[in-house]
Amino acid sequence: MSINRTMDEVNFEEALWQVYTCSRTLNKQAWDNEGVEIVVDEALVNLKVAELLVINSRKEAYPSLQDQADMQFHDLANGTTTWQDAIQAVKDAYPKPV
């Protein structure tokens, strides 16, 4: 990946790979395995970009698995909802795109 690319371009390219079966991409264009250019639906790819941004943001925001296991242990022992509250806070902060 080129260091000059913006985050949007990287996300758009990643989304292209997930939306279409392509052998290569460049500047928001994609080509299939036979080298034929794919007609890119930017709206569809942008929806995938939004989905990827939520996924990546949630991954960074969730407590570690060790912390989650500790929360669940203490919630069971104490009748609290610490783990559920922590997970819900992340989901609320980074809702899935509609």
Q: What is the pTM of this model?
A: 0.70
Q: Are 87 and 62 in contact (CB under 8 A)?
A: yes
* pLDDT cut 70: percent of the chain above it: 90
The list of the chain residues with pLDDT below 70 reads: 1-10
Task: Provide the pLDDT for residue 9.
Answer: 60
Task: Provide the pLDDT for residue 4.
Answer: 47
Task: Provide the pLDDT for residue 3.
Answer: 40
Sign of CA pseudo-dihedral 9, 13, 16, 22: positive
pLDDT tens column, 39-62: 999 999 989 988 888 988 999 999
Return d(Cα 48, Cα 61) in angstroms, integer. Answer: 20
Task: Provide the pLDDT for residue 13.
Answer: 86
Task: Provide the pLDDT for residue 8.
Answer: 62
Task: Provide the pLDDT for residue 33.
Answer: 87
